[in-house]
Amino acid sequence: MIVTLSKSISLHDKEMVRIYLQDRGFSIQEQHFGDDVIIGTQKKGVADLRELGLLPGVERVAATSKPYELASRETHPEDTIVTVGPVTIGGSRISVIAGPCAVESKEQILETAALVRESGAVMLRGGAYKPRTSPYAFQGLGMKGLEYLKAAGEAQGMPIVTEVVSPELAVDMKDLTDMFQIGARNMQNFELLKKVGSLRKPALLKRGPSATIEEWLLSAEYLLSFGTPDVVLCERGIRTFETYTRNTLDISAIPVVKELSHLPVLVDPSHAVGIRAKVSPTALAAVAAGADGLTVEVHPKPDEAFSDGPQSLYPGQFERLMRDIEAMAPVVRKELLRTPRHSYGRAAMGPGAGTAPEPVHRPSSAAQVAFSGERGAYGEQALIRAFGEDVPRLSTASFSGIFDRVLDGSAVAGIVPVENSLTGSIHENYDLFLRYPDIAIVGELKLRIVHCLIGDEKAGLDSIRIVRSHEQGIAQCREFLDKHPHWQRESYSSTATAAASVAKEKAAHVAAIAGEDAAKAFGLKILKAGIENNPLNYTRFVIISRKVGDKPWIPPGLGSETPNKASLVFSVPDTPGSLFTCLRILSEGGINLSKLESRPIHGQPWRYLFYVDVNIPETEGVFEHIMDELKTKTEDFRFLGAYRGSL
């Protein structure tokens, strides 16, 4: 049973609730989930739920059918997002933890940290204490290894996670690690679970090799009930009769556990298969099944590793895996988590342990991010993918409103759609960049668009007479709409605004084309899902911020990876070969052209601007030199921004 208390409950009323439960045979544990304060009962007593619900300060009472009450989705319907330093695990992000099986030396862990960070890992893993089957195997460097691991994490701006093997060591390790890992062999070491829970630090709980899902969740219940609200589950394969792999990855456990529990779920493909060549395909399968992230073993020289070398990826293999995850993420409606590279904590040690400076040119404004439309809009979904669920959001009535709010400082950034894979460029927004020269592009992401026909609870396909959506939504669903020629089509400023109008009207004859999130936001029913012309329907969004001086400010949450893409716009003289000359400059400079589109220049008939996206070469100074040369051959050259492009 779970008792949720009012946010304004007095200490006296809270104590009376405790006494009521204890007098009726319940053992209780107080927990905090977001803004909610709840009391969970740890053994069965007898109480009248209606009487309990009437006590002062009690907001609601929920009886559960699961033995793992605190871990159950019945008592906590919303997904839990666990925060470890700058890293969030859960929600719409895919978080990747990487590092060696064991810390072998200061040099080894510093090198590994730099390599996995460069490829996009956001947390560093490594064992300082290694429980091994053989007493003669490498057991780890102990506290010295943990100090090396901590320093390597600080050098790269990554929190660390490491395994704890005893309650006594948990106390000693508390101040050196950011997250405890409970290994598979210790999943039912209940004294260890109690101690780690009482320390109230985030915990990564691996499933035991022969554990059922219920046993796994009951172990999570120990951690939750003894104090820590930040528990992440990790599926790492179970023991079966199969011998071709180290373990058998129970990939079906991912959707099952996510239905049963609100806790985030990671997958360890390295221990699941134990074979280097099989780790990447298994990792991608886990992402496709809904995992919130991965923990992967990576070693600079796996053949020389002290432990688990055969399952550790080479750095190049890990880099390719991260690119594949980034490409797959939009398909499962998620975004690969990137975090700033700033060092944190105590000073880093050793070579390669330099720190990145804090961002400069920070505007003085509330940390809001602007998008166009109502709650549930695709722009809001993209915003959440880029900045996380907790970022304050500022809704605007139009795309130009996003630019206005960023320009006047009401928002630190904005997210704007510029291109769709089915209907092409959104010209209105490209033109806005010319009207707002003090706005720059600082990032991009691609969002898979799944359109739904949504309506009032009373509505059905036979009752619909009017369909509302943004003009892009209507165009992207034209084939479906053409099957219903009697439906009147009405254009709105956004898909979510159309959904809001349907919710307000509460009529059976009107419907909207919008996403599933908009249906949930406005309490509408999905009449038909997936009505877009083609399932390969993606919208490219760019993230914009205001220039301060001659440089754009980079909002927190975008990370600080080196830009690999740029957008520019220019016109050319009205002479033969002028555009060819510009393209030749790019070609001879080794710069790949990924987009070229012309737009009429307003007020100058038959004159055109060219919008161009290019890839930035890795060699330092080459891109700047080519841009300087290009300016000499163009007219009205404008650099829209350099950023980290999505795949």
Q: What is the pLDDT of residues 6-15, one digit of tens each?
A: 888 888 888 8
Residue 557 pLDDT exceeds 90:
no
240 in any annotated domain: yes
Rounded-to-integer distance, Cα 581 and Cα 630, Å: 9
Q: Residues 176-190: what's their mean pLDDT?
A: 96
Q: What is the pLDDT of residue 340?
A: 66
pLDDT at 351: 30
**Mean model confidence pLDDT for the chain:** 87
Choose one of 529, 548, 574: the last residue of a domain: 529
Q: What is the pLDDT of residue 296?
A: 98
Would the pLDDT of 570 be above 70?
Answer: yes
Is the per-residue pLDDT at 354 higher than 70?
no
Q: Mean pLDDT over residues 198-216, rounded? A: 96
Q: Are residues 139 and 271 in the same domain?
A: yes
| CATH code: domain of residue 108 | 3.20.20.70
Q: Residue 74 falls within a domain, yes or no?
A: no
Does residue 268 lie within any of the structural domains? yes
pLDDT at 60 over 80: no
Cβ atoms of residues 40 and 229 within 8 Å: no
Would you say residue 276 has pLDDT above 70?
Answer: yes
611 and 506 share one domain: no
- State residue 574's pLDDT score: 86
- Considering the domain boundaries, does residue 623 fall inside one? yes
Check if 541 is active-site. Answer: yes
125 against 564, higher pLDDT: 125
Per the structure block, which two tokens stand in for 181? 């890992």
The answer to whether position 483 is within a domain reads: yes
Does position 86 have pLDDT exceeding 90, yes or no? Answer: no
Q: Is 133 a catalytic residue?
A: no
Q: Is the pLDDT of residue 361 over 50?
A: no
The CATH number linked to 573 is 3.30.70.260
- Provide the strand spans (E) within 47-175: 58-62, 82-84, 87-89, 93-99, 123-125, 160-163
Q: Give the residue numbers spanning the domain of 610.
A: 561-647
Return the minimum-mean-pLDDT range out of 58-72, 208-222, 570-584. 58-72
Distances (CA, A) of 501 to 458, 462, 508, 626: 15, 20, 13, 50
pLDDT at 558 over 80: no
Split at pLDDT 50, 70, 90, the class of 232 is very high
Which residue(s) pair with 407 in the sheet?
none
Domain boundary (336, 370, 389) is at: 336
CATH code assigned at 31: 3.30.70.1140
Domain co-membership, 57 together with 121: no
Alpha-carbon distance of 511 to 506, in angstroms, equals 10
Q: Which is more confidently placed, 42 or 451?
A: 451
- Do 20 and 108 lie in one domain? The reply is no
Q: Are residues 109 and 198 in the same domain?
A: yes
Buried b (16+ CB within 10 A) or exposed e, 489-511: eeebbbbbbbbbbbbeeeebebb
Between residues 599 and 646, the one the model is more confident about:
599
pLDDT computed for residue 486 by the predictor: 95
The DSSP line for 344-412 is: -SSPP-STT---PPPP----SS---EEEESSTT-HHHHHHHHHH-TTS-EEEESSHHHHHHHHHTTS-S
Return all residues near 15 (Cβ < 8 A) that are at least 6 apart. Answer: none
Q: What is the pLDDT of residue 154?
A: 94
Host H or E run for residue 19: helix 11-23
Q: Is 446 within a domain?
A: no
- Whether 523 and 586 share a structural domain: no
pLDDT band at 77 (very low <50, low <70, confident <90, very high): confident
Cβ–Cβ < 8 Å for 127, 103: yes
Active-site residue identified among 399, 539, 623, 634: 539
Q: What is the pLDDT of residue 360?
A: 32
Last residue within a domain, chosen from 505, 529, 553: 529
Pairing assessment for the beta strands 488-492 and 466-470 based on DSSP bridges: parallel
Burial 632-645 (b: 16+ CB within 10 A, else e): ebbeebeebbbbbb
> Does residue 578 fall inside a structural domain?
yes
> Quick one: 174 and 50 in the same domain?
no
Tell me: pLDDT of 386 over 80.
yes
Q: Which is the catalytic residue, given 387, 541, 570, 623?
A: 541
107 and 230 both lie in a single domain: yes
Q: Is residue 210 located within the same domain as residue 291?
A: yes
Q: In this predicted model, which residue has the larger pLDDT, 145 or 27?
A: 145
Look at the chain and report how many structural domains it folds into.
4
First to last CA, the chain: 46
- Which range (79-93, 103-117, 348-362) has the least confidence? 348-362
Q: Same domain for 142 and 241?
A: yes
Do 163 and 22 fall into the same domain?
no
Task: Give me the CATH number covering residue 467.
Answer: 3.40.190.10
pLDDT at 134 over 70: yes
Percent of the chain, pLDDT > 90?
Answer: 61
- Indicate whether 382 belongs to any domain: no
Residue 41 pLDDT grade (very low, low, confident, very high; cuts 50, 70, 90)? low
Question: Are residues 48 and 127 located together in one domain of the fold?
Answer: no
What's the whole-number mean pLDDT along residues 622-630? 92
